[in-house]
């Protein structure tokens, strides 16, 4: 009997000794409110993550850059192509293992996948929270409700939310460049695109709040801001249109560079081109997605412009701003695209002389007009061949554009030391081209005049002009 009691004691002692530290660690892990956030997709999503960080910080959550140490892991997701969603689904498999180890770990899915896939995301048992792009103010309340054993869900889209009063916490920034969201949503309904369904109706943010945010960033040492929206040319708030807003922001200080993304070709106005031409600190760089150079494809895509109209806008830009950088987005292999349509895209790229392009294979998205009414009938291997031809064409155009810069003096905003060498700095020109040059005297945020001496298709190289 005595021996038995002793054994029980021994067993209990061992139990306490083995389990106490892990239990205590679990408690410590759960008591600290820390979050990690990983962002997928477009610049708008990166900007949104900074709004999320602000909402959480106001509710006493600390930002934790190490995923393993956070007790709230948020993935801010993208649905634009199937590949973007697959990356997140694979990430969830990794988080499942982490969840097994950390009792109390909460996993939340935010952004466009949350909006598109809804409750389906709870399947698999990893996700506790699903919150769409207009519900980020609700996050603290949603997270609290999970702690009492529930799953939390809010995907209501708003016609008004712009998060205008929230001061983003710049977790994605290098301290020199920052994004400012000026509008949300899109109602252009390009037939292939999921964004109008995941982001809701277009709405613009009050201009005074945008200017105040830019003034604050400049006073904290930032030297470049990018005004963001799915279609910034549609910005409109109480008689302030996008060119007027650009002017208001550009007047803050000549040392603050202003960029914007993205503009739809159908409403790239002469007024906007004139504003860009008129202010040295408005960057000479326009991202103008072409999507296809074929009129038949543009019609099926519901882009509401023709190849001729697009190219006439490009000529208007070059006429007013001869040194303007123009970049684009191209989708290849859209429904029923023929070899002739593809050749039209290649020739339009040559005529527009793009400096840079983001190039994608068409990826059918459920619920869009193209998925409902058209046939995703270009074979995968043909999509691949056409994409490769488009990439090769763009590399050639980028190289030609960079070769034209040889010998020129360019003002570069320094972003930091180059990855290759601590003796080299890297930065961007007004045209958004990356420049690398030998220099140890300047720092991030400085403007340096560099003479271009060499180039590849991706980078300019140069020397500081004394
Ligand atoms: N609002 C921006 C684009 C946002 S999406 C604009 O209209 O300019 C970024 C790019 O993704 C698009 O320009 C398009 O080239 C690409 N894209 C959108 N939907 C796609 C799809 N279903 N398949 C492949 N690429 C797509
Ligand atoms: Fe999508 Fe077209 Fe809106 Fe761009 S403009 S987000 S491509 S629907
Ligand atoms: Fe992706 Fe949504 Fe942006 S679908 S591209 S994260 S608006």
> Can you tell me whether residue 334 is helix, strand or coil?
coil
> Cα–Cα distance between 104 and 32 in angstroms, integer?
11
Other CB atoms within 10 A of residue 120 CB: 11
> Cα–Cα distance between 127 and 121 in angstroms, integer?
7
433 CA to centre of ligand 3 in angstroms: 24
> Can you tell me whether residue 297 is helix, strand or coil?
helix
The residues with which 257 forms a beta bridge, in sequence order, are 224
- The backbone torsions φ and ψ at residue 298, rounded to the nearest 5 degrees and listed phi first, read -60, -35
Other CB atoms within 10 A of residue 136 CB: 25
> Cα–Cα distance between 123 and 157 in angstroms, integer?
23
Domains 28-154 and 310-404 share a fold: no
Q: Would the pTM of this model clear 0.85, i.e. be above it?
A: yes
Contact 314, 276 (CB under 8 A): no
CA angle 286, 166, 109 (to 5 degrees): 80
Which CATH code is given to the segment(s) 173-283? 3.30.750.210
pLDDT digit string, tens, across residues 67-92:
999 999 999 999 999 999 999 999 99
Contact 253, 218 (CB under 8 A): yes
pLDDT score of 190: 98
> Residues near 47 by Cβ (< 8 Å), separated by ≥ 6?
168, 179, 180, 181, 228
pLDDT score of 267: 87
> Cα–Cα distance between 229 and 182 in angstroms, integer?
6
Atom of ligand 1 nearest to the CA of 329: 15
pLDDT score of 30: 57
> Cα–Cα distance between 33 and 28 in angstroms, integer?
10
264 CA to centre of ligand 2 in angstroms: 8
- DSSP tag of 270: H
Among 201, 231, 334, which residue has the most ligand 2 atoms within 8 Å of its CB, making it the best to mutate? 231
149 CA to centre of ligand 3 in angstroms: 31
Q: What is the pLDDT along the chain (466 residues), one digit of tens a residue?
A: 333 333 333 333 333 334 444 555 555 555 678 999 999 999 999 999 999 999 999 999 999 999 999 999 999 999 999 999 999 999 999 999 998 888 889 999 999 999 999 999 999 899 999 999 999 999 999 999 997 778 999 999 999 999 999 999 999 899 999 999 999 999 999 999 999 999 999 999 999 999 999 999 999 999 999 999 999 999 999 999 999 999 999 999 999 999 999 999 998 999 999 999 999 999 999 999 999 999 999 999 999 999 999 999 999 999 999 999 999 999 999 999 999 999 999 999 999 999 999 999 999 999 999 999 999 999 999 999 999 999 999 999 999 999 999 999 999 999 999 998 999 999 999 999 999 999 999 999 999 999 999 999 999 999 999 7
Fold of 28-154: Rossmann fold (3.40.50)
Atom 10 in ligand 1: residue holding the nearest Cα: 329
- The backbone torsions φ and ψ at residue 134, rounded to the nearest 5 degrees and listed phi first, read -105, 10
- DSSP tag of 378: S
Which CATH code is given to the segment(s) 310-404? 3.30.750.200
pLDDT score of 31: 62
Other CB atoms within 10 A of residue 164 CB: 17
Domain ranges of the chain: 28-154, 173-283, 310-404, 409-464
Among 76, 117, 195, which residue has the most ligand 3 atoms within 8 Å of its CB, making it the best to mutate? 195
Ligand that comes closest to the CA of residue 82:
1
Stated as kind and residue range, the H or E segment containing 402 is helix 380-404
pLDDT score of 47: 97
CA torsion sign, 189 to 192 to 198 to 204? negative
Contact 387, 359 (CB under 8 A): yes
Other CB atoms within 10 A of residue 104 CB: 13
pLDDT digit string, tens, across residues 425-438:
999 999 999 999 99
Residues with CB under 6 A from ligand 2: 186, 188-190, 193, 195-196, 230-231, 264
With residues binned 3-state (H G I as helix, E B as strand, rest as coil), the percentages for the chain, rounded to 5, are: 40, 20, 35
CATH class of this structure's domain 409-464: mainly beta
């Amino acid at each position: 009997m005595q021996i038995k009691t002793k054994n029980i004691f021994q067993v209990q002692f061992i139990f306490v000794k083995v389990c106490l530290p892990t239990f205590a660690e679990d408690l410590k892990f759960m008591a600290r409110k820390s979050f990690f956030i990983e962002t997928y997709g477009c610049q708008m999503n990166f900007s949104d993550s900074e709004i999320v960080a602000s909402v959480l910080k106001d509710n006493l959550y600390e930002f934790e850059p190490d995923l393993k140490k956070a007790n709230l892991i948020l993935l801010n997701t993208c649905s634009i192509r199937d590949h973007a969603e697959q990356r997140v689904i694979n990430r969830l498999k990794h988080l499942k293992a982490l969840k097994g180890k950390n009792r109390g770990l909460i996993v939340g899915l935010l952004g466009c996948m949350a909006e598109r896939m809804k409750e389906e995301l709870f399947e698999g048992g990893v996700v506790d929270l699903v919150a769409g792009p207009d519900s980020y103010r609700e996050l603290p309340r949603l997270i609290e409700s999970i702690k009492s054993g529930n799953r939390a869900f809010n995907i209501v889209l708003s016609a008004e939310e712009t998060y205008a009063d929230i001061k983003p916490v710049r977790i994605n920034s290098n301290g020199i460049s920052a994004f400012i969201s000026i509008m949300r949503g899109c109602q252009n309904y390009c037939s292939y695109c999921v964004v109008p369904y995941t982001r809701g109706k277009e709405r613009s943010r009050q201009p005074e709040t945008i200017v105040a945010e830019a003034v604050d960033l400049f006073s904290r040492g930032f030297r470049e801001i990018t005004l963001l929206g799915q279609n910034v040319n549609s910005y409109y708030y109480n008689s302030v249109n996008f060119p007027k807003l650009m002017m208001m922001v550009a007047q803050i200080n000549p040392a603050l560079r202003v960029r914007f993304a993205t503009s739809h070709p159908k409403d790239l106005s002469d007024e906007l081109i004139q504003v860009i031409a008129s202010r040295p600190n408005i960057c000479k760089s326009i991202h103008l997605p072409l999507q296809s150079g074929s009129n038949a494809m543009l019609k099926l895509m519901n882009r509401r412009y023709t190849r001729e109209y697009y190219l006439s806008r490009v000529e208007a830009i070059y006429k007013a701003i001869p040194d303007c950088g123009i970049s684009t987005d191209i989708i290849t292999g859209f429904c029923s695209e023929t070899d002739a349509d593809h050749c039209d895209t290649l020739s339009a790229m040559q005529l527009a002389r793009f400096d840079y392009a983001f190039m994608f294979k068409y990826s059918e998205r459920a619920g869009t007009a193209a998925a409902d009414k058209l046939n995703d009938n270009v074979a995968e291997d043909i999509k691949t061949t056409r994409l490769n031809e488009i990439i090769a064409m763009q590399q050639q155009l980028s190289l030609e554009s960079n070769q034209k810069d040889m010998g020129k003096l360019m003002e570069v905003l320094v972003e930091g030391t180059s990855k290759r060498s601590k003796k080299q700095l890297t930065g961007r020109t007004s045209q958004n081209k990356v420049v690398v040059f030998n220099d140890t005297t300047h720092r991030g945020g400085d403007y340096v005049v560099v003479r271009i001496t060499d180039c590849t298709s991706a980078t300019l190289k140069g020397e500081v002009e004394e």
